[in-house]
């Protein structure tokens, strides 16, 4: 990795981060004075960032392939001893692609939020937090070393906390925010330890330095670094075993779910692993664990998605599951990085679109999220239905929509491993594709079709243009992104400077047969959903008597129960026991000793009289001791 | 300019002013406050000028002043600062004026005479100024005997601040604070005398001068004994587990302003002592005892963090978080690397700022609600956005969020300790999860959720919460109306500079790091540590 100094517009790429950060600062410090125009400023900063990002990317594309890693050194952040951390940026094809995703989808969601949050008294605060998020996320992908990445990494965690808890007077929102932050921090510990280990072994934390010398380390150390990075990635991306926070995060306003908990922040784990490709290239073991985590998570998410009635939770579990696909891909190594990233970008479009559609539906249904009280909405809100349907087709991966191109590439590459794990995980991925088709069809049927089961006083209506236009743009992206990224302008070509030449390996299964098989599986999922949901009347309350499988799926395979019984409750007991021990044991022992020395414990309490004597005695004793000792030493 | 006796003036000015403030006639309280604020701002200006005059590439101790004091025993009134002491003086300079502004209305005139021996506005501010003088002295002393004198003398104003102006159990807390410190001080005194004895036999004449004592060649056995003498005193002061139980009582009973100085500055004398005295004077003993100290440090990080989670009293909670943070500082010092040591010193400064803000904001909340119990609050954020914002920022700094000052120091401590002490560091890193828990639990319970608790009922029928006693503070203002719930201008004047420092030092810490690093590197070479931790050479 050779980093060349920035020239031209890219020298100003720090503005990408500074613009939304300044927006956040103005809105937070300005307070109520900025209420009237705060949302416009917030949107403008992100749009400007997008334009600047686009111009920088154009400039980058004009450079030689070998010179497309451009560094911008801003100032010395932390320098002590041998540690030298600079606030520096790295603008290369990978970060450029993320910049466009973050600011592009970010701009659309800011615009949408103007309408969605129009009646919320805290709209200015909302835009401030959104801007803060965009700035932190851009720092995460643009930083030129692992410490900058870490700063952005925790920064997006904070923004996510603030936004999940946006309606903080609701206890559920407050609790969900805290849960998200804590589980993210568990992952952050992994990332931090990975950085410590890099510094201890290599003496540097820059991408350039670490990737350049990683090969000199022992295999076990590289694997340890890879696994620690993975822990960080799992926390941020809601992957097993740290997946339980993401569905709860849906307590935040829906645009937040779209931008942060679907399109961008939760994909940071995929970015981290792709960015650290030179590390993972050296460790088969860590790669395998990444892949296995992805395989397990994609199934957990898909299974849980089948049993939930909350429209946002279904989409959240779907996100968990789809990021599982991305992890599976990047765990494959060089053949998978680009496939995983292509799915990430396509997913960014269609999942953001789906969430915005869900928000539009909620808007029409008095903020209800219960799909059992939806139904028959397709002709009441045609734009929402149309854009949502395109996102749906993209997600379940029917040809020629986005998901077909990007998801199939992952599954195909998994089988191409050729070994038993390839077949096993590939099988899981195919099963996941079927489940995805099932839960998404179920969602479509319960929301838009069938008899209307609305609660009293609900009068569905289409959302205003400021909301529908971003949905339309994202829907176009959902249709086109996959084809564009895989066939028309292959992402693999753009990423060549980062990951090397795309390799065309042997296919285990002929592509045509394969595409056909996947399509059949997806259609099977659709058909099953029709059989179970579409054909029948949907009861307005969830049936209580269900099979153990359904019950387990409703509880998301008991992830919360496990966390609570393994960590939370023992932790609470331990805390209570320690508080008792500290008050009675440690403090009691010391007080007892003091009392014994002082003659009576009551003296401890009688300050006004007791103190002066004690104090005088102490001073006198000290003075005598000092004088005596000094005299003895000097004269003796 | 460097000939100006900065340090002497920084001690003398507040000390003299303390006498003046005490002598202000009864009824002229405002004058007393104005003098105090003016003098403390003067000390801040002096601290800044001293920093400008300080040459980071120059001698280890600068701005020195030395006059003979007790000639018979070679005791000199010797002052001087290295980068470590200098940043502590800056911290004192910043905190004291803010504490004075924060305490402006804490004492209503009617309080005077209600408690024997005090509760007068003049006495309170006079003690604060005297405390400032003693704190400057303890960091600026380069003669160990002088250091000891300041170390003990510092107790007196703090004793009266807690014992006369504190919460309902102030007397118990004050005596406990005093006894703990006195015991530690006496043990240290024995070690100080021991050093004198050694210097007397080796140099022919006894001395307390730090620079001379550093050159002594002390046998390992004696080193261990003397090390322990100093260590115990400092471990009580810092405090490290298991010497910590006085701090939650003192921290929670002290009036908020004094609690800030107690935890923010006074306790740092302990960790400062490790670095200034234990490591350079007893290098072999330091290396010998390092593993044991690290056990205490890491146990303290985790133990105190768990205890913080279990507290229902906000001030006690903050006190426990500080004990946990002191564990990080001790880890950084006894890991014996320049990176970790630099981080530890920066941590001492940052913790004073971050926990200072946290204590102050908690105090502002308590002043409004009249209770220290977390359970008496809820949903405050909905009514007081500025207060809750400041609370959150202080909390984020406390949990070392990147972008705040504490991140830099905690990160340096951990990354610097990892190369020499990986196991301890990994255990300590778990502490950052616990930190998120104790901060966010407190924040969620008080600021989030539906508004509830005595603070949120209509002002007319507001019951005065019993048993809170939130210091002297509880008496004063803010009972008035819900509109007055958010921060006042005076409170904003306290919060804003600290917020600016938290973010400013979080983004650009390098100026402080360049002050600290050379002194730490010198200390680490004294202790014979491999200063080049990390790096390809291993």
- Provide ipTM, 2 decimals: 0.90
Residues 6+ apart with CB under 8 A from B275: B84, B333, B341, B344, B345, B520, B523
Contacts of A45 (CB under 8 A, 6+ apart): A19, A20, A22, A23, A131
DSSP assigned state of A582: I
Instruction: Band the pLDDT of A620: cuts 50, 70, 90.
Output: low
Q: How far apart are CA B314 and CA B161, in angstroms?
A: 20
- Contact B411/A175, CB-based, under 8 Å? no
Condensed to tens digits (0 to 9), the pLDDT of residues B456-499 reads 655 444 444 433 333 333 333 344 444 468 888 899 999 999 99
Contact A151 B402 (CB under 8 A): yes
Nearest CA in chain A to B385: A31
Scan residues 595-624 of A and list those with Cβ closer than 8 Å to B. Answer: 604-608, 610-611, 614-615, 618, 621-622
Q: Give the gap in angstroms from C-alpha A286 to the nearest C-alpha of chain B.
A: 20
Question: What pLDDT, on the 0 to 100 scale, is given for residue B474?
Answer: 37
Q: Do A634 and B433 touch (CB under 8 A)?
A: no
Q: Do A542 and A372 meet the contact criterion of CB atoms below 8 Å apart?
A: yes
Poorest-confidence range of A330-344, A542-556, B477-491?
B477-491
Which residues from chain B sit within 8 angstroms of residue A618, using beta carbons? Answer: 182, 186
Cβ-defined contact of B513 to A79 (cutoff 8 Å): yes
B10 Cβ contact list (under 8 Å, min separation 6): B43, B46, B47, B50, B89, B133, B136, B140
Substitution target in A22, A81, A610 with the highest count of B β-carbons within 10 Å is A81
Q: Is residue A518 part of a domain?
A: yes
Q: Kindly list the strands in the beta sheet with A70-80, ordered across the sheet, starting from the edge strand earlier in the chain.
A: A4-5, A70-80, A83-91
Is pLDDT of A607 > 50? no
- Which residues in chain B have Cβ-Cβ distances shorter than 8 Å to A575? 306-307, 309-310
Q: Is A231 a domain residue?
A: no
List of chain A residues whose C-beta atoms are within 8 Å of the C-beta of residue B381: 168-169
pLDDT at residue B475, rounded to an integer: 37
Nearest to B342 among A81, A571, A608 (CB): A81
Judge: B206–A634 Cβ closer than 8 Å, yes or no: yes
Residues of B in contact with A615 (CB under 8 A): 159, 178
Q: Tally Cβ neighbours within 10 Å of residue A283.
A: 23
Specify whether the CB–CB gap between A516 and A399 falls below 8 A.
no
Give the total residue count for chain A: 636
Residues B408, A78: C-beta atoms closer than 8 Å: yes
Look up tokens 């600079």; give the residue: A86
> Measured between CA atoms, how close is B480 to chain A, in angstroms?
23
Q: Is residue A345 a part of any domain in this protein?
A: yes
The total domain count for chain A is 1
User: Rg of the Cα trace of chain B?
Assistant: 22
Cβ–Cβ under 8 Å, residues A94 and A498: yes
Q: Which of B244, B347, B448 to mutate to test the interface with A (most CBs of A within 10 A)?
A: B448
- Min Cα–Cα distance to chain A from B122, Å: 20
Q: Is A573 on the interface with B (CB under 8 A)?
A: no
B483 CA: distance to closest CA in chain A (Å): 15
Q: Which of A14, A25, A83, A187 to mutate to test the interface with B (most CBs of B within 10 A)?
A: A83
Cα angle value B138/B142/B148 (rounded, 5°):
45
Mean pLDDT throughout A603-624? Answer: 54
Q: Taking CB atoms and an 8 Å limit, are A587 and B307 in contact across chains?
A: no
Dist CA B476 CA B222 (whole Å) = 55
Residue range of the domain that includes A417: 284-554
Separation CA B343–CA B325 (nearest Å): 12
CB contact under 8 A, A151 and B508: no
pLDDT above 70: percentage of residues in chain B = 90
* Other beta carbons within 10 Å of A455: 12
The residue among B304, B528, B348, B533 whose CA lies nearest residue B437 is B304
CB contact under 8 A, B402 and A165: no
The residue in chain A having the minimum alpha-carbon distance to the alpha carbon of residue B450 is: A169
What are the boundaries of each domain within chain B? 6-457+468-526
B415·A195 Cβ contact <8 A: yes
Residue A504 has pLDDT above 70, yes or no: no
Q: What is the reported pTM?
A: 0.91
**In which band, very low, low, confident or very high, does the pLDDT at A102 lie, cut at 50, 70 and 90?**
very high
Residue in chain A nearest B506 by alpha carbon: A77
More confident residue, A135 or A2: A135
Q: Do B178 and A614 touch (CB under 8 A)?
A: yes
Instruction: Report the pLDDT averaged over residues A1-12.
Output: 84
CA of A93 vs chain B CAs: smallest distance (Å)? 26
| A149 → chain B, closest CA residue | B402
Please state, in angstroms and rounded to a whole number, the distance separating the CA atoms of residues B420 and B356: 31
Residue A619 — very low, low, confident or very high, per pLDDT cuts 50/70/90? low
Contacts of A253 (CB under 8 A, 6+ apart): A113, A116, A117, A120, A126, A163, A166, A167, A359
Residue A182 to chain B, least CA–CA distance (Å): 6
Name which of B306, B448, B516 is nearest A574 (Cβ-Cβ): B306
In a domain, A71, yes or no: no
Q: What pLDDT is stored for residue B530 in this prediction?
A: 54
In this predicted structure, what is the pLDDT of residue A633? 56
Structural domain includes residue A531 = yes
Contact A11/B at CB under 8 A: no
Nearest to A575 among B245, B309, B536 (CB): B309
User: Chain B residue with minimal CA distance to A170?
Assistant: B449
Confidence check: pLDDT of A498 > 90: no
N residues, chain B: 538
A1 touches chain B (CB under 8 A): no
CA distance to partner chain B, nearest, from residue A59 (Å): 29
| Least confident residue range of A369-378, A617-626, B126-135, B169-178 | A617-626
CB distance from A634 to chain B under 8 Å?
yes
* Mean pLDDT confidence for A626-632: 61
| Average pLDDT estimate for A326-348 | 91
**What is the rounded distance in angstroms from the CA atom of residue A22 to the CA atom of residue A134?**
11
In Å, what is the CA distance from B423 to each residue of A524, B295, B298, B419? 52, 11, 10, 10
- Residues of A in Cβ contact (< 8 Å) with B508: 75, 77
**Closest CB from A575, A625, A629 relative to B310:** A575
Mean pLDDT of chain A: 87
Average pLDDT over residues A409-420: 88
Distance from CA of A39 to the nearest CA of B (A): 19
In a domain, A623, yes or no: no
Q: Which residues, given as ranges, of chain B have pLDDT below 70?
A: 1-2, 108-119, 456-484, 529-538
Say if the Cβ atoms of B418 and A196 lie within 8 Å.
yes
Of A192, A199, A626, the CB nearest to B193: A626
pLDDT value at position B117? 45
């Amino acid at each position: 990795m050779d980093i060349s100094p920035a020239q031209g517009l890219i020298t100003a790429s720090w503005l990408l981060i500074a613009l939304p950060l300044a927006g956040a600062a103005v809105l937070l410090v300005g307070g109520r004075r900025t209420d009237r125009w705060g949302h416009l400023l917030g949107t403008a900063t992100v749009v400007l960032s997008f334009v600047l990002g686009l111009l920088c990317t154009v400039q980058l594309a004009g450079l030689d392939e070998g010179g497309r890693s451009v560094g911008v050194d801003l100032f010395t952040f932390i320098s002590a001893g041998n540690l030298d951390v600079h606030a520096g940026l790295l603008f290369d094809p990978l970060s450029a692609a993320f910049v466009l995703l973050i600011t592009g989808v970010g701009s659309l969601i800011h615009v949408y939020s103007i309408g969605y949050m129009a009646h919320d008294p805290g709209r200015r605060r909302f835009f401030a937090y959104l801007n803060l998020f965009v700035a932190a996320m851009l720092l995460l992908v643009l930083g030129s070393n692992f410490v900058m990445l870490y700063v952005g990494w925790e920064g997006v965690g904070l923004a996510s906390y603030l936004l999940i808890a946006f309606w903080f007077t609701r206890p559920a929102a407050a609790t969900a925010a805290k849960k998200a932050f804590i589980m993210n921090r568990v992952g952050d510990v992994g990332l931090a330890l990975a950085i410590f280990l890099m510094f201890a072994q290599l003496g540097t934390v820059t991408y350039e330095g670490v990737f350049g010398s990683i090969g000199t380390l022992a295999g076990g150390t590289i694997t340890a670094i890879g696994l620690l990075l993975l822990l960080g990635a799992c926390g941020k991306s809601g992957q097993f075993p740290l997946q339980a926070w993401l569905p709860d995060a849906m307590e935040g306003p829906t645009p937040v779910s779209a931008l942060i908990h679907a399109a961008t922040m939760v994909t940071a784990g995929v970015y981290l692993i792709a960015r650290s490709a030179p590390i993972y290239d050296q460790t088969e073991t860590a790669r395998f664990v990444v892949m296995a985590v992805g395989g397990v998570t994609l199934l957990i998410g898909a299974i849980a998605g089948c049993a939930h009635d909350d429209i946002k939770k279904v989409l959240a579990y779907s996100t968990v599951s789809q990021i599982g696909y991305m992890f599976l891909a990047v765990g494959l190594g060089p053949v998978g990085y680009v496939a995983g990233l292509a799915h990430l970008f396509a997913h960014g479009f269609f999942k953001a679109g789906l969430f915005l559609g869900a928000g539009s539906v909620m808007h029409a249904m008095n903020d209800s999220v219960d799909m059992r009280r939806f139904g028959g909405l397709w002709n009441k809100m045609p734009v929402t239905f149309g854009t949502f349907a395109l996102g749906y087709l993209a997600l379940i991966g029917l040809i020629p929509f986005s998901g077909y191109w990007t998801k199939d590439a992952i599954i195909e590459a998994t089988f191409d491993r050729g070994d038993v794990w390839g077949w096993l995980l590939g099988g899981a991925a195919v099963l996941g594709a079927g489940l995805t088709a099932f839960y998404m069809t179920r969602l479509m049927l319960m929301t838009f079709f069938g008899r209307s089961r609305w609660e009293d006083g609900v009068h569905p209506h289409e959302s205003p243009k400021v909301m529908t236009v971003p949905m339309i743009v994202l829907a176009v992206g959902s249709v086109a992104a996959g084809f564009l990224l895989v066939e028309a302008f292959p992402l693999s070509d753009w990423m060549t400077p980062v990951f090397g030449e795309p390799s065309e390996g042997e296919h285990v299964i002929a592509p045509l047969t394969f595409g056909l098989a996947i399509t059949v599986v997806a259609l099977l999922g659709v058909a099953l959903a029709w059989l179970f949901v579409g054909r029948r009347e949907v009861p307005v309350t969830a049936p209580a008597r269900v099979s153990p499988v359904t019950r387990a799926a409703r509880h998301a395979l008991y992830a919360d129960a496990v966390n609570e019984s393994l960590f939370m409750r023992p932790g609470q007991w331990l805390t209570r026991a320690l508080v008792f021990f500290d008050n009675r044991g440690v403090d009691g022992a010391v007080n007892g000793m003091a009392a014994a020395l002082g003659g009576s414990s009551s003296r401890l309490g009688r300050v006004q009289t007791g103190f002066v004597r004690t104090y005088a005695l102490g001073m006198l004793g000290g003075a005598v001791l000092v004088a005596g000792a000094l005299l003895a030493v000097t004269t003796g | 300019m460097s000939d100006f006796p900065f340090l002497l003036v920084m001690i003398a000015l507040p000390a003299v002013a303390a006498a003046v403030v005490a002598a202000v006639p009864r009824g002229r309280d405002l004058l007393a406050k104005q003098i105090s604020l003016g003098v403390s701002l003067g000390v801040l200006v002096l601290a800044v000028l001293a920093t400008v005059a300080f040459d980071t590439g120059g001698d280890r101790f600068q701005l020195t002043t030395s006059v003979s004091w007790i000639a018979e025993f070679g005791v000199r009134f010797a002052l001087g600062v290295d980068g470590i002491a200098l940043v502590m003086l800056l911290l004192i300079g910043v905190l004291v004026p803010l504490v004075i502004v924060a305490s402006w209305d804490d004492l209503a005139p009617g309080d005077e005479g209600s408690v024997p021996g005090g509760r007068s506005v003049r006495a309170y501010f006079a003690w604060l100024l005297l405390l400032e003088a003693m704190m400057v002295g303890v960091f600026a002393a380069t003669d160990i005997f002088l250091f000891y004198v300041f170390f003990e003398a510092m107790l007196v104003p703090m004793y009266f601040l807690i014992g006369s102006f504190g919460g309902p159990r102030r007397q118990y807390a004050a005596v406990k604070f005093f006894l703990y410190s006195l015991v530690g001080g006496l043990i240290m005194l024995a070690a100080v005398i021991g050093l004198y004895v050694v210097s007397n036999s080796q140099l022919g004449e006894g001395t307390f001068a730090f620079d001379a004592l550093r050159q002594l060649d002390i046998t390992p056995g004696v080193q261990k004994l003397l090390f322990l003498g100093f260590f115990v005193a400092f471990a009580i002061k810092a405090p490290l587990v298991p010497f910590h139980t006085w701090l939650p009582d003192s921290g929670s009973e002290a009036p908020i302003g004094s609690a800030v100085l107690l935890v923010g500055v006074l306790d740092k004398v302990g960790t400062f002592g490790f670095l200034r005295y234990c490591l350079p004077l007893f290098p072999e003993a330091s290396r010998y005892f390092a593993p044991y100290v690290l056990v205490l440090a890491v146990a303290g990080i985790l133990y105190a963090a768990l205890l913080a989670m279990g507290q229902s009293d906000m001030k006690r909670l903050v006190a426990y978080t500080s004990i946990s943070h002191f564990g990080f500082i001790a880890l950084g010092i006894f890991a014996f690397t320049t990176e970790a040591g630099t981080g530890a010193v920066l941590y001492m400064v940052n913790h004073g700022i971050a926990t200072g803000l946290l204590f102050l904001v908690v105090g502002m909340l308590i002043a409004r609600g009249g209770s220290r119990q977390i359970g008496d609050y809820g949903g405050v954020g909905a009514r007081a956005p500025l207060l809750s914002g400041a609370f959150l920022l202080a909390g984020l700094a406390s949990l070392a969020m990147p972008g705040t000052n504490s991140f830099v120091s905690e990160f340096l401590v951990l990354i610097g300790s990892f190369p020499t002490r990986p196991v301890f560091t990994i255990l300590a890193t778990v502490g950052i999860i616990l930190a998120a828990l104790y901060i966010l639990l407190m924040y969620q319970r008080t600021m989030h959720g539906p508004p509830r608790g005595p603070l949120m009922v209509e002002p007319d029928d507001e019951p005065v919460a019993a048993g809170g006693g939130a210091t002297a503070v509880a008496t004063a203002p803010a009972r008035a109306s819900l509109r007055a719930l958010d921060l006042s201008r005076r409170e904003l004047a306290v919060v804003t500079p600290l917020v600016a420092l938290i973010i400013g030092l979080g983004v650009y810490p390098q100026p402080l790091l360049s002050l600290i690093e050379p002194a730490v590197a010198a200390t680490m070479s004294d202790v014979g540590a491999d200063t080049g931790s990390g790096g390809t050479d291993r």
